[in-house]
Structures are given as C-alpha cells and as structure tokens.
Structure 1
Amino acid sequence: MTVDWNGTELGFERAGLDRMDEVLGVLDDAAGWLGSRGVDQWPARFEAAFVEPALSRGETWLVRSGGEVAGTVTMDWADKLWADSPGEAGYLHRLAVRRSAAGLGARILDWAADAVRTRGADYLRLDCVAGNARLRAYYEGRGFAPRGVVAVEGAPDRRTGEKPVYRLSRYELAVPGRDGHHRA
C-alpha cells in the first residue's frame, strides 16, 4: 500500500524473517531514544526471538518513506491481554519510527485503523507502559479511549532470572465501518 506523508510517498511492506535486521534496527533506534529520555518502555536492545513469531506469521510491517525504512509496526487479530473485551479488533504492537521520521506514528495509526475497517472489525486496540504519561496523552489525543490498566509479567531479567511485572494501559479506538457507522 502506498500513501502520501508530508509530500513523501510512504510504502507499507509486510516483513518476513529475511527483513529481521531492518525491523530490529528501527526498534533498537526507538528504544535507545526512549531510554535516553528516561522512558522505561522497551528493552535497550530487542532480541530476534522477541519479534520472530510475528515476522513468521506475517504480522509485522516495515514503513518506507522516500525509499528508506522509517518505521515498523506489528498488527495482529488476537491478543490475550484483551480476552475480557467484546468485539472484533485489530491489535497494534511495537509501533516504532526512526527519529528522522518523527511524526510518522500518526500516519501508521491511520493505516492500522484502515486495516481494521477493511477487515470489518470494530476496534483498533493497543497498550503501552502505564508510566509513560506522554504516550498515553498522545493516544488519547488521537481519539483512543482508556480501557484500564493491567499487570503483566515481562521477559525474564537476565541477571536475576526473575520476571518483572509491568503495568500496561490499554487503549481502544472505535473504527467506523465503510459506511461511516459503528456496527456495535
């Protein structure tokens, strides 16, 4: 799919295992930037094993701007974190952009909402670390409604062998159907 962003052509390309390095590069850039700002959202470096399942299932996308990889996002159609919530939904994970493409995240969210609409689902859902007030405010400003905070175990800490517990804020955007109306 090709769209326009700031006068530049954007391309959304499904990423397979052969694109792992590009996906990890964008995620690591974003994680490093977050870490430098004191935001404890992601690990300092992503491991291939963490993204490999989504790449294998064809759920991860690379976003090109002007021919260069500018972002990545994973979009899937099931998430056990939302098992208590009715309605069909698309679930957005690991949305990241390179700093040179700051602002691109809004266009990726629009693309994801379009994917939900095309599939005939009702909602676009995502989560973020509850302590990231700036990101929560961003999502709310984009029309996402807060849907509670949940505690989840993270990846095992390599030094202690323990699994840290994270508090995640869940967000949901109602996506109108092609006729402009919500099915629910």
Structure 2
Amino acid sequence: MPESAPMVVATPADAVDIAQLRDRLAEWMVGNGIAQWLPGEYPAAVVAEEATRGEWFIWRESLTELTAAVRIVWRDPDFWGADDAEAGYIHGLMVAPEYRGRDLGSRIIQFCADYTLARGVTVQRLDAAADNPVLRKYYGAQGFIEVRETQLPPQFHGTARVVLMEKPLAPGS
C-alpha cells in the first residue's frame, strides 16, 4: 500500500463492493478446497450496518476499484467467549486477487496495529480456519500466537473449527 493511498474508513456506500470482494475470495477458496468463507454468507446489508459503526476500512487503487478491506472491532464475544476482552479484533482482511504478492496483507495488519495502539489498546486478535495451515503460518509469521482452537460460531459456515490468535503490541512499534 503506497503511502499516497492509505486505508480510509468505509461508508455504507462501500458495502456492496466489500461484499462482492468477499464473495470473489470465498468463491476462490471454495474452488481451491478451503472451507473458510462461503459465497453469499456476508450480505452487503450487514456490511453497511458495520460500516455505519465505523468498523470497516478500505483501500482503493482508483475511485472504482476496491483493492483491500478490513474490519476492526473492539470486542468479539462470538468467537472468544469467556476470554473476550478489549483488543483490536481483525476480521475480514481481504486483498483483491489481482493484488496478491505485493505485501498488502502485512501492511494492512500494521495499519490495524497502529489504529489499535492509537486507541490505547495493546493487543490484536483474530481468528482463522483451523484447517487452513497456510493462513495459520502466515499469521504466525506476522507475530500472532495461537491461543486456542474452538468451534466456529453457529451463524457462520464453511469450517467447523477456528484457531484464535493474538499479538501483543508495543507502543511505538
């Protein structure tokens, strides 16, 4: 992500593009035997509600082309249950397929870390499909530590189990 094109807060008007990008990635996952996301399970109306709350961030290569998106929330009891605590929870980190290999994922994770620290929170958390060793290894290389494996919340589909991961953040890092 060049410095000239930072992540910006998404608006409800971006919801259709975000949902379409997620569906594109879900279709790719299903086609490659990865049971993490399913096409159509995350409708634009839900994304619009979340964007209204300021939870989504996007980066566009141009005015019309959505390059990447990520959702940040501060609590996540659906996934973390009794271990839920204030943290920068990363959800829906997406990079358009045509932008793979440009290190955008790690730059988005750093954006999320900076945003989380700016709020005075020193922990990032996320979840990934337990049966996706490539993604688990990727997040491990980004400094996330596996905390535990658990059932996928019932409102989601695609995989049965997720691994919960967290990363301590140091101010100034």
Structure 1 position 133, deviation (Å): 1.0
Instruction: Determine which structure has the larger strand proportion and give its number.
Output: 1
Residue by residue, what CA displacement relative to the aligned partner does 1:117-157 show, whole Å, maximum 9, x if unpaired?
A: 11111111000111111100110111100010111333378
In 1, are the aligned partners of 2:10 and 2:51 still within 8 Å (CA)?
Answer: yes
Match of 1:60 in 2: 56
Determine the C-alpha separation between the residues in 2 that align with 1:86 and 1:20. Answer: 27
Determine the C-alpha separation between the residues in 2 that align with 1:86 and 1:62. Answer: 26
Determine the C-alpha separation between the residues in 2 that align with 1:123 and 1:140. Answer: 15
Determine the C-alpha separation between the residues in 2 that align with 1:91 and 1:105. Answer: 15
TM-score by length of 2: 0.85
Question: What fraction of aligned residue pairs are identical, expressed as a percent?
Answer: 28
Taking a change above 3 Å as real, the CA distance of residues 17 and 122 of structure 1, as seen in their structure-2 partners, is same
Pair 1:121-2:121 in alignment = yes
- Structure 2 counterparts to residues 1-184 of structure 1, below 5 A: 4=2, 9-45=4-40, 46-65=42-61, 68-80=65-77, 81-85=79-83, 88-102=86-100, 103-155=103-155, 166-178=160-172
Taking a change above 3 Å as real, the CA distance of residues 31 and 156 of structure 1, as seen in their structure-2 partners, is closer
Determine the C-alpha separation between the residues in 2 that align with 1:134 and 1:165. Answer: 15
Q: 2:68 is matched by which residue type in structure 1?
A: G
TM-score by length of 1: 0.81
Structure 1 stretches lacking a partner, 5+ long = 158-163
In 1, are the aligned partners of 2:15 and 2:45 still within 8 Å (CA)?
Answer: no
In 2, are the aligned partners of 1:128 and 1:169 still within 8 Å (CA)?
Answer: yes
In 2, are the aligned partners of 1:87 and 1:122 still within 8 Å (CA)?
Answer: no
SS in structure 1 opposite 2:152? strand
In 2, are the aligned partners of 1:11 and 1:65 still within 8 Å (CA)?
Answer: no
Q: 1:38 is matched by which residue type in structure 2?
A: G
Which one has more relative contact order, counting CA pairs under 8 Å at least 6 apart? 2
Determine the C-alpha separation between the residues in 2 that align with 1:165 and 1:31. Answer: 12
SS in structure 2 opposite 1:78? coil
- Structure number with greater Rg is 1
Q: 1:14 is matched by which residue type in structure 2?
A: V
Taking a change above 3 Å as real, the CA distance of residues 17 and 70 of structure 1, as seen in their structure-2 partners, is same
In 2, are the aligned partners of 1:10 and 1:66 still within 8 Å (CA)?
Answer: no
Determine the C-alpha separation between the residues in 1 that align with 2:84 and 2:68. Answer: 30
